[in-house]
Amino acid sequence: MKIDRNRLRKYTSEAPAKCQALINKLRSCSHAELLEELKQIDAWTFGKCELFHWVDVLDLSDSILEEAAAKSPDNPWELACDLPQNREAKELLLWVLHLTTLLIEHSYSRHLYSSMEHLVTLLSSCDMHVVLGVLNILYMFSKRSNFIARLNSDKRQALLSRLTLLAESWGGKENGFGLAECCKEYPDKPLPASATTLHFEFYAENPTTDTNSTSTTGTKKCGQTNFVTCIHIENVDKLGKTPAQIMNDLLKVNNVPQDRQIALFTHIRLAHSFSDYRRRLQCVHARLQALSILVYNSELEENAHSLLHPGLLEELVELLELPHAHLVELRAAALRTLTSIIHLDRNPHFPKLNMIIDVTGANSYHGFFPVLIRTCISTLISPQPEGQPFPLSLATALFSFLYHLSSYEAGCEALVSCGMMESLLKIMNWPGSEFEHLTFVTRAVRVIDLITNIDMQGFQAHGGLASFINRLDMEVNVCRKEQPFEIEPIHYQDNSQATRERSMDRDENSTSSRTYDEREESSNPMEFSENENMSSKTDDKNEQMPDYSAGKTGKTCLPQRVTLLKALLNFIKKIIQDPTFSDSIRHVMEGTLPSSLRHIISNSEYYGPSLFLIATDAVTVYVFQEPSLLSSLQDNGLTDLVLHALLIKEIPASREVLGSLPNVFSALCLNQRGLESFVKRRPFERLFKVLLSPLYLPAMNRRRSTDPLGDTASNLGNAMDELMRHQPSLKVDAIAAVIKLLEELCVLGCDPRYICLQAEDKFDNSQSNTTTGNRQSSGQSVGVGVGDSSGGGGGGSGSSSDEEEEDEEEASTSSHPQREEQCSSSTAQPVPPPQPREKTPIALMEYIQNVTKFVDAILSNNSTDDHCREFVAQKGLVPLLSILGLPNLPVDHSVAQTAQAVATVCKSILNLAHEPLVLKTGLSQLNEVLNLLKPLYNYMEAPGGSVLLHELVNAPNLETAFTSDTATPLLHAMNAAYGYIIMFAQVCRTSQSEIRNLAMNHWGSELGLTVLKGLSELYTALIWESTALLALTTEDFIPAGCDFGKEDMDKLIRPESTNEGESSGWSGAASSDMGSNGMTTAMEALSTDPPPIPMEVDEKPSVSTGRISPNSHRITYPKHLLGLTSKMGRALAELFAILVKLCMGSPIRQRRGQQVPPIPALPSQASRSVATALNCVLIRGLSWDKLPPSTVSKLQVTFLMCTLSFVSPALFDEKGYPFHLMLQKFVKLGGQNAFFAAFHWVLSGGGQFPLSEGLEHPNL
């Protein structure tokens, strides 16, 4: 079936240019044109990419497969591709199968393929050409992935049953059916007559009736009698019918069970084909392919001894020994089968490796296999003018067998014994550059790599290292012709001038930090100005960047050559670290190797990120192995080129490359000259910018759950910490660059040109049919960095295994929504609001997560406090904590992730450095935010309502109000306060006595008490807002005729001009789907003790039954607000509970058996002050005379219920033991009186009737 595009995840990689051109060409072809195009694709030269990009071509091929697999209406065993009138369609089918095989071999994400049911059907074709085409695809799936193992059970069982029938033995050599004999046109002995005889036995199920003699009624019972039925037909090939026709005729007269019919058809097809030599060869080929597929998929548990019968390996070798030219493909298939059987050695029940070594003579110089390999190599490297070239398919299978054999220790020992090293090095020195020849050289390199693990002397004796370096140079020179570009490193000014400039930079940074410090005391942390960061941008613009257009030609290296270069460089890296090569390695950089490395490192776009990484690693490994020779690399310019490629030119967007950078820098800074060259390039500012670039977002994410713990940002931070410890002189500059990174992050979060992508996606769900501003997802990459105006595609490289595909984390920010200007479809609002300026979406949340992980890794990788103190000394706390108040953060619950990320860094600084400025700076910024929230504490006058809802409905543009801090300043300030509250809750939750005392002293200071007072007002306001919003979104809560919140709800639900058919009331439209017990559930969600029930407030719109207004989605807005206020209220209550425990001091452990309980320490003055402030919160909430004004008394009772829920956890711990200090203050400040006064007020119905009547009064 065709691929379900709705279930496709978004891929960030782009198809290579050649691939994309081929895709565009193929999907626009007619069937006739497609056939001509496919005939030209004999070998693959288009590069690798995600199979996702080939979806259109795969769907086209699926339709062709579907047509070919269609069954005849007269004969269900006759497929459309077998009909004589469909010859042209069959030719197209065979070429489509060939293309699919190549695609599976050269792609990732193979799990997208969805035409398996057609392939299973085509295995029942009468034409063995078609069967072989299908088997080639299945073989590629089996060898390259676990695709077949992941099929659903029905499809997998249907496939495996057919493969098992194709692979079953025909009787073996002793019965005259040896593979070699079957492949001879004129066998030494005639083939047995049974070859064309159909003899098939099965249990037939025929209904029978018998009389029950014991039955009094004499009735007959029907039953089933199973008996063996035999179908015996001789000379099937001479019946003059196709296998499908024979099968159809037999089924008319024989009741063959459904599960045995495919076995019968397979036997008919085999007997029908065996007398024809060409078709018999196809049957042998299909048997070998099917056997290989089953072995690769480990599906031999039940049939291993029958499929791999004794003597099979000898039969395969005899087939290999046949000299006939037309048997090349069969000999290659035999080798592939031997290769697959090698891996059965992993299964202790079927070890075959030693038998394969024995039958092939692989451990003897004159054995069959070594002689065949040497013949192949000599024919390849020195072909005779009149001699026949060695067949490429057989050579490919030979080298594959050689590689897999060397993967095992016994195989390596056999290859050493037969003297294979000399022949393999001849391949290395062979100048063949055709892409099929590159594969042989790559295999040779890998085999040599494996053999040298147990025998390095043979490699040295034949000058192996020189051969490798020369081959590397030869391949790079071929690439130079297509891509001549090479980096010319920039020559910087002398060191003294650079030092002076760095000193001036630090002065500017300190000035900027002082600006932040002054702002800490005077301004709002939510009001970051972009101008604060303009100086650094200006500096970047003044520095002229080199022109790399010559290197960005769009060309890419041939995939086969890239694979060879990787193998060569990986082996050279291994040799550099081998102690047996210590003498020769010292001179390895005096030849052509540096020149080859320069070209690869200069052209990361051409060679790809993985080869770029291996080249830089080779330089790093060499420097660490021979640090005294670093100066020689500096003299030939290689180190300057590496630094330029990593710091000036754009780094490849690869996790592995990013993670390796600090290690490379450590190597290049091992001497003073290297350190100075590194510092001149302002490395940290340039390097850290990748954390704010959309190009590198895919590289920052873990691709699958099987990855080791930690992600790219954390690993990069840990490695950067090690670099700073190796080179202490870098610490000041590095920390300054970290702080500058935080400042740039704050600029992104404050700039009104940007919008957080997560916030946009959140509210698009409920605004999908609104006026302008609709955003639809496209497949492009997301976001911009500082100053960017467009996003670029991430070039993440894939893996050839599919095991990780399902676990891969979806990068939700890997595609960014596009704006479309469109006219309003609603006629209810004739005058549309002014169009807001278009904002650019950025992945702000992911940037924050990555930056904070990076910073935390740098500060806390080691248990020392030097980095933390330097960070604090350079005023890094101000931008770090200001992240919590960024106006571009989404106004939803995801701000908790941001707060926890920032809290992790703050906690590390507190634990390591015990730095009080963490608390002071945080309290100062939170105090400024609380000052912005003062309008929230002024309750609306009668009839009352929600302040937040009133602000929302009066915004200039309701659709963008949630994402605009100017339209809803209170909502955004509340969101910022939420972040600070979560951060303080995380930081203050600690068991370290020193940190607890430090936190208590700050909360008990004048600033801390001011903040506590503001938080208490905020807590009361949040409870009231939650109560009011709950009433407005709950059915029948507000009595009919009451005007509480009516004006705001009218503005929300209906536009200014109301259609005649709409209801004039609003309570029905605002009715909630909570049901009759919704109020109780919501109350539990608003409470703080016991732990809250999650309140889902943003799933369904609340609309009146049968009446949906054009703006019905807007009714979800009060629910969004309710969710925010209730979650924030619980977070604030949790912070108060933590402060209560801090007031009590550190817990005292009582030893077992100790009779006299220890005397608790006297509370400090700060503890008493904080306890007093917290009790003021309690008493303020219980004071009935200070309740917010409302025309609905039920709302005030609800308010009291919510405030009362915090009293118990504030006065008693989880086990019911009292907090004595809190109890004392509670009673002293009149809390007990307020509690009972509130109780009396409720019982009297707010003073409306005598207290003596109490609960018996009908109006209570």
Per-residue pLDDT at 1195 exceeds 80? no
Instruction: Find out whether 712 and 798 touch, Cβ atoms under 8 Å.
Output: no
Per-residue pLDDT at 1147 exceeds 60? no
Cβ contacts of 1083 within 8 Å, gap of 6 or more: 1198, 1201, 1202
pLDDT single digits (tens) 352-388? 788 888 888 888 989 899 999 998 888 888 776 666 6
Buried b / exposed e along 490-516 (16+ C-beta atoms within 10 A): eeeeeeeebeeebeebeeebeebbeeb
Q: Which of 646, 681, 716 is the endpoint of a domain?
A: 681
What's the whole-model pTM score? 0.75
Per-residue pLDDT at 931 exceeds 70? yes
Mean local confidence (pLDDT), 1178-1192? 70
pLDDT single digits (tens) 414-434? 988 888 888 888 888 888 767
Lowest mean pLDDT among 3-7, 295-299, 326-330, 668-672: 3-7
In angstroms, what CA-CA distances link 881 with 705, 899, 1182?
Answer: 31, 9, 34
pLDDT single digits (tens) 806-848? 333 333 333 333 333 333 333 333 333 444 457 888 888 888 9
Lowest mean pLDDT among 153-167, 936-950, 1085-1099: 1085-1099
User: Sorting pLDDT into bands at 50, 70 and 90, what band is 1190?
Assistant: low
Q: Which of 890, 908, 926 is the endpoint of a domain?
A: 908
% the chain with pLDDT above 90: 18
pLDDT at site 74? 86
Instruction: Find out whether 758 and 767 touch, Cβ atoms under 8 Å.
Output: no
pLDDT single digits (tens) 552-577? 777 888 888 999 999 999 999 998 88
Per-residue pLDDT at 499 exceeds 50? no
Domain that holds residue 112: 5-151
Query: Is the domain of 1182 the same as that of 1205?
Result: yes
Domain-located, residue 1113: yes
Query: Is the domain of 865 the same as that of 925?
Result: no
Mean local confidence (pLDDT), 179-198? 82
pLDDT at site 1171? 83
pLDDT at site 183? 87
User: Sorting pLDDT into bands at 50, 70 and 90, what band is 219?
Assistant: very low
Domain-located, residue 888: yes
Hey, what are 385's tokens? 């003018």
Per-residue pLDDT at 513 exceeds 50? no
Domain-located, residue 319: no
Domain-located, residue 670: yes
DSSP symbols for 60-106:
HHHHHHHHHTPBPSS-TT-BGGGSGGGHHHHHHHHHHHHHHHHHHHT
Domain-located, residue 1137: yes
Query: Is the domain of 921 the same as that of 937?
Result: yes
Domain-located, residue 434: no
Per-residue pLDDT at 744 exceeds 70? yes
Query: Is the domain of 1007 the same as that of 1043?
Result: yes
Hey, what are 1061's tokens? 């058919």
SS3 840: strand
Query: Is the domain of 738 the same as that of 668?
Result: no
DSSP 434: S
Sign of CA dihedral 586, 590, 596, 600: positive
Q: Write down the H helix ranges in 1087-1230.
A: 1116-1143, 1165-1182, 1193-1204, 1207-1211, 1220-1228
Q: Which of 888, 908, 928 is the endpoint of a domain?
A: 908
Buried b / exposed e along 850-870 (16+ C-beta atoms within 10 A): bbbbbbbbbbbbeeebbbbbb
Highest averaged pLDDT of the listed ranges 120-124, 202-206, 490-494, 1178-1182: 120-124
pLDDT at site 595? 92
Query: Is the domain of 947 the same as that of 1049?
Result: yes
Lowest mean pLDDT among 900-904, 913-917, 1150-1154: 1150-1154
Query: How many domains would you assign to the chain?
Result: 5
At residue 107, what are phi and psi to the nearest 5 degrees? -150, 170
Hey, what are 775's tokens? 């955003």
Mean local confidence (pLDDT), 1047-1061? 56
User: Sorting pLDDT into bands at 50, 70 and 90, what band is 516?
Assistant: very low
Query: Is the domain of 885 the same as that of 1025?
Result: no
Query: Is the domain of 248 the same as that of 130?
Result: no
User: Sorting pLDDT into bands at 50, 70 and 90, what band is 1236?
Assistant: confident
pLDDT at site 512? 43
Query: Is the domain of 754 the same as that of 867?
Result: yes
Query: Is the domain of 1034 the same as that of 942?
Result: yes
User: Sorting pLDDT into bands at 50, 70 and 90, what band is 1061?
Assistant: very low
User: Sorting pLDDT into bands at 50, 70 and 90, what band is 767?
Assistant: very low
pLDDT at site 132? 94
Domain-located, residue 341: no
pLDDT at site 1151? 54
pLDDT at site 705? 46
Query: Is the domain of 1205 the same as that of 1180?
Result: yes
pLDDT single digits (tens) 576-609? 888 878 777 888 888 899 999 999 999 998 898 9
Distance separating alpha carbons of residues 541 and 341, to the nearest angstrom: 62
pLDDT at site 526? 46
Mean local confidence (pLDDT), 890-917? 86
Distance separating alpha carbons of residues 939 and 1142, to the nearest angstrom: 32
pLDDT single digits (tens) 687-729? 888 888 888 887 777 555 445 445 788 888 888 888 888 888 8
Give the residue with greater pLDDT, 228 vs 93.
93
Give the residue with greater pLDDT, 1247 vs 1133.
1133
Per-residue pLDDT at 967 exceeds 60? yes
pLDDT at site 96? 93
Mean local confidence (pLDDT), 1121-1146? 84
Per-residue pLDDT at 1258 exceeds 80? no
User: Sorting pLDDT into bands at 50, 70 and 90, what band is 502?
Assistant: very low
CB pairs under 8 A, 24+ apart, for 1053-1057? 1053/1109, 1053/1111, 1053/1112, 1053/1114, 1053/1115, 1054/828, 1054/1109, 1054/1111, 1055/826, 1055/828, 1055/829, 1055/1110, 1055/1111, 1056/829, 1057/828, 1057/829, 1057/830
Highest averaged pLDDT of the listed ranges 7-11, 95-99, 776-780: 95-99
Hey, what are 42's tokens? 């004999």
pLDDT at site 8? 63
pLDDT single digits (tens) 523-547? 444 444 444 444 444 444 445 566 6
Per-residue pLDDT at 26 exceeds 80? yes
Mean local confidence (pLDDT), 1191-1198? 67
Looking at residue 1043, its amino acid is D
Give the residue with greater pLDDT, 726 vs 766.
726
Mean pLDDT value across the chain: 76
pLDDT at site 1054? 55
Half-sphere exposure of 1243 (CA within 13 A, CB side): 13
Other CB atoms closer than 10 Å to residue 215's CB: what's the count?
A: 10
User: Sorting pLDDT into bands at 50, 70 and 90, what band is 922?
Assistant: very high
Cβ contacts of 316 within 8 Å, gap of 6 or more: 179, 334, 337, 338, 359
Domain-located, residue 281: no
Mean local confidence (pLDDT), 172-195? 80
% the chain with pLDDT above 70: 74
In angstroms, what CA-CA distances link 189 with 186, 245, 462?
Answer: 8, 32, 49
Give the residue with greater pLDDT, 123 vs 1175.
123
Query: Is the domain of 850 the same as that of 932?
Result: no
Name which of 100, 79, 101 is nearest 90 in CA terms: 79
pLDDT at site 780? 32
